[in-house]
Structure 1
Protein backbone atom coordinates (compact mmCIF):
# COMPACT_ATOMS: atom_id res chain seq x y z
CA UNK A 1 0.00 0.00 0.00
CA UNK A 2 1.56 3.23 -1.15
CA UNK A 3 0.28 6.61 -0.07
CA UNK A 4 0.84 9.87 -1.91
CA UNK A 5 2.00 11.65 1.24
CA UNK A 6 2.51 11.12 4.92
CA UNK A 7 -0.53 13.30 5.67
CA UNK A 8 -2.77 11.07 3.54
CA UNK A 9 -1.40 7.97 5.25
CA UNK A 10 -2.12 9.41 8.69
CA UNK A 11 -5.60 10.49 7.60
CA UNK A 12 -6.32 7.05 6.21
CA UNK A 13 -5.27 5.25 9.38
CA UNK A 14 -7.10 7.76 11.56
CA UNK A 15 -10.34 7.15 9.65
CA UNK A 16 -9.77 3.40 9.60
CA UNK A 17 -9.18 3.29 13.35
CA UNK A 18 -12.29 5.41 13.96
CA UNK A 19 -14.33 2.99 11.84
CA UNK A 20 -12.99 -0.06 13.68
CA UNK A 21 -13.71 1.51 17.07
CA UNK A 22 -17.29 2.37 16.07
CA UNK A 23 -17.93 -1.16 14.84
CA UNK A 24 -16.41 -2.68 17.98
CA UNK A 25 -18.56 -0.41 20.13
CA UNK A 26 -21.68 -1.62 18.29
CA UNK A 27 -20.63 -5.23 18.74
CA UNK A 28 -19.89 -4.70 22.44
CA UNK A 29 -23.24 -3.00 22.96
CA UNK A 30 -25.07 -5.86 21.28
CA UNK A 31 -23.14 -8.74 22.82
CA UNK A 32 -22.63 -7.34 26.33
CA UNK A 33 -25.60 -5.00 26.51
CA UNK A 34 -28.30 -7.17 24.95
CA UNK A 35 -26.84 -10.52 26.02
CA UNK A 36 -25.98 -9.66 29.64
CA UNK A 37 -27.15 -6.27 30.90
CA UNK A 38 -30.58 -6.08 29.28
CA UNK A 39 -31.31 -9.80 29.24
CA UNK A 40 -34.15 -9.61 31.78
CA UNK A 41 -35.91 -6.83 29.88
CA UNK A 42 -35.42 -8.53 26.52
CA UNK A 43 -36.60 -11.89 27.86
CA UNK A 44 -40.10 -10.42 28.05
CA UNK A 45 -40.12 -10.43 24.22
CA UNK A 46 -40.26 -13.71 22.32
CA UNK A 47 -38.46 -14.15 18.99
CA UNK A 48 -38.88 -17.33 16.92
CA UNK A 49 -40.08 -19.16 20.03
CA UNK A 50 -37.15 -18.05 22.21
CA UNK A 51 -36.79 -15.29 24.72
CA UNK A 52 -35.07 -12.38 22.96
CA UNK A 53 -32.39 -11.92 25.64
CA UNK A 54 -31.46 -15.59 25.42
CA UNK A 55 -31.42 -15.39 21.62
CA UNK A 56 -29.05 -12.39 21.64
CA UNK A 57 -26.76 -14.11 24.12
CA UNK A 58 -26.63 -17.32 22.11
CA UNK A 59 -26.87 -16.30 18.46
CA UNK A 60 -27.81 -12.66 17.92
CA UNK A 61 -24.39 -11.30 18.84
CA UNK A 62 -22.74 -13.65 16.34
CA UNK A 63 -25.10 -12.56 13.56
CA UNK A 64 -24.38 -8.92 14.34
CA UNK A 65 -20.63 -9.64 14.31
CA UNK A 66 -20.84 -11.25 10.87
CA UNK A 67 -22.93 -8.33 9.59
CA UNK A 68 -20.34 -5.90 10.96
CA UNK A 69 -17.63 -7.73 9.01
CA UNK A 70 -19.53 -7.05 5.79
CA UNK A 71 -20.05 -3.42 6.81
CA UNK A 72 -16.31 -3.09 7.50
CA UNK A 73 -15.40 -4.55 4.12
CA UNK A 74 -17.68 -2.11 2.30
CA UNK A 75 -16.53 0.91 4.32
CA UNK A 76 -12.84 -0.06 4.08
CA UNK A 77 -13.10 -0.44 0.30
CA UNK A 78 -14.69 3.02 0.09
CA UNK A 79 -11.92 4.40 2.29
CA UNK A 80 -9.29 2.78 0.06
CA UNK A 81 -10.81 4.45 -2.99
CA UNK A 82 -11.01 7.78 -1.19
CA UNK A 83 -7.27 7.71 -0.45
CA UNK A 84 -6.40 6.08 -3.78
CA UNK A 85 -4.87 2.93 -2.31
CA UNK A 86 -7.45 0.49 -3.62
CA UNK A 87 -6.56 -2.72 -5.41
CA UNK A 88 -7.73 -3.23 -8.98
Structure 2
Protein backbone atom coordinates (compact mmCIF):
# COMPACT_ATOMS: atom_id res chain seq x y z
CA UNK A 1 0.00 0.00 0.00
CA UNK A 2 3.05 2.23 0.20
CA UNK A 3 2.88 2.99 -3.52
CA UNK A 4 -0.82 3.92 -3.45
CA UNK A 5 -1.88 7.52 -3.21
CA UNK A 6 -3.74 9.02 -0.27
CA UNK A 7 -6.93 9.07 -2.37
CA UNK A 8 -6.66 5.34 -3.06
CA UNK A 9 -6.03 4.64 0.61
CA UNK A 10 -9.05 6.70 1.62
CA UNK A 11 -11.23 5.00 -1.00
CA UNK A 12 -10.08 1.56 0.16
CA UNK A 13 -10.95 2.28 3.80
CA UNK A 14 -14.22 3.94 2.85
CA UNK A 15 -15.29 0.82 0.92
CA UNK A 16 -14.14 -1.36 3.82
CA UNK A 17 -16.21 0.64 6.33
CA UNK A 18 -19.28 0.62 4.07
CA UNK A 19 -19.00 -3.17 3.72
CA UNK A 20 -18.68 -3.63 7.48
CA UNK A 21 -21.69 -1.38 8.15
CA UNK A 22 -23.81 -3.32 5.65
CA UNK A 23 -22.85 -6.67 7.18
CA UNK A 24 -23.35 -5.43 10.73
CA UNK A 25 -26.79 -4.09 9.83
CA UNK A 26 -27.76 -7.51 8.45
CA UNK A 27 -26.53 -9.17 11.63
CA UNK A 28 -28.34 -6.62 13.80
CA UNK A 29 -31.59 -7.20 11.91
CA UNK A 30 -31.31 -10.98 12.21
CA UNK A 31 -30.22 -11.08 15.85
CA UNK A 32 -32.21 -8.20 17.33
CA UNK A 33 -35.00 -7.80 14.79
CA UNK A 34 -35.86 -11.44 14.16
CA UNK A 35 -34.77 -12.75 17.54
CA UNK A 36 -36.45 -10.11 19.73
CA UNK A 37 -38.66 -7.58 17.95
CA UNK A 38 -40.37 -9.83 15.39
CA UNK A 39 -40.34 -12.99 17.49
CA UNK A 40 -44.12 -13.13 18.02
CA UNK A 41 -44.85 -12.91 14.29
CA UNK A 42 -42.10 -15.36 13.40
CA UNK A 43 -43.27 -17.86 16.03
CA UNK A 44 -46.38 -18.44 13.91
CA UNK A 45 -44.15 -20.10 11.30
CA UNK A 46 -42.92 -23.64 12.02
CA UNK A 47 -39.29 -24.36 11.11
CA UNK A 48 -37.94 -27.91 11.49
CA UNK A 49 -40.35 -28.52 14.34
CA UNK A 50 -39.50 -25.27 16.15
CA UNK A 51 -41.06 -21.84 16.12
CA UNK A 52 -39.12 -19.65 13.69
CA UNK A 53 -38.68 -16.78 16.18
CA UNK A 54 -37.27 -19.15 18.78
CA UNK A 55 -34.94 -20.66 16.18
CA UNK A 56 -33.60 -17.23 15.17
CA UNK A 57 -32.99 -16.32 18.79
CA UNK A 58 -31.21 -19.60 19.57
CA UNK A 59 -29.49 -20.68 16.34
CA UNK A 60 -30.23 -18.45 13.37
CA UNK A 61 -28.30 -15.39 14.50
CA UNK A 62 -25.21 -17.53 15.08
CA UNK A 63 -25.47 -19.16 11.65
CA UNK A 64 -25.96 -15.80 9.98
CA UNK A 65 -22.96 -14.36 11.83
CA UNK A 66 -20.72 -17.21 10.64
CA UNK A 67 -22.02 -16.80 7.08
CA UNK A 68 -21.32 -13.06 7.25
CA UNK A 69 -17.71 -13.80 8.22
CA UNK A 70 -17.29 -15.78 4.99
CA UNK A 71 -19.01 -13.03 2.99
CA UNK A 72 -16.67 -10.46 4.53
CA UNK A 73 -13.57 -12.51 3.67
CA UNK A 74 -14.76 -12.99 0.09
CA UNK A 75 -15.62 -9.31 -0.38
CA UNK A 76 -12.36 -8.15 1.19
CA UNK A 77 -10.37 -10.41 -1.14
CA UNK A 78 -12.16 -8.76 -4.07
CA UNK A 79 -11.49 -5.32 -2.60
CA UNK A 80 -7.81 -6.13 -2.05
CA UNK A 81 -7.49 -7.22 -5.69
CA UNK A 82 -9.24 -4.06 -6.84
CA UNK A 83 -6.66 -1.89 -5.06
CA UNK A 84 -3.66 -4.13 -5.78
CA UNK A 85 -3.24 -5.30 -2.19
CA UNK A 86 -3.81 -9.01 -2.73
CA UNK A 87 -1.15 -11.47 -1.68
CA UNK A 88 -0.74 -13.09 -5.09
Runs of 4+ aligned structure 1 residues displaced above 6 Å come to none
Residue deviations 1:2-48, cap 9 Å, x none?
A: 35111100000000000000000000000000000000000000101
Question: Structure 1 residues 3 and 12 mapped into 2: Cα distance closer, same or farther (>3 Å)?
Answer: farther
CA RMSD of the aligned region, Å?
0.9
- TM-score, length of structure 2 as denominator length: 0.96
Unaligned runs of 5+ in 1: none
TM-score w.r.t. length of structure 1: 0.96
Q: How many residues are aligned here?
A: 88
Q: How does 1:16-55 map to 2 (within 5 A)?
A: 16-55=16-55
Q: Distance in 2 between matches of 1:23 and 1:3?
A: 30
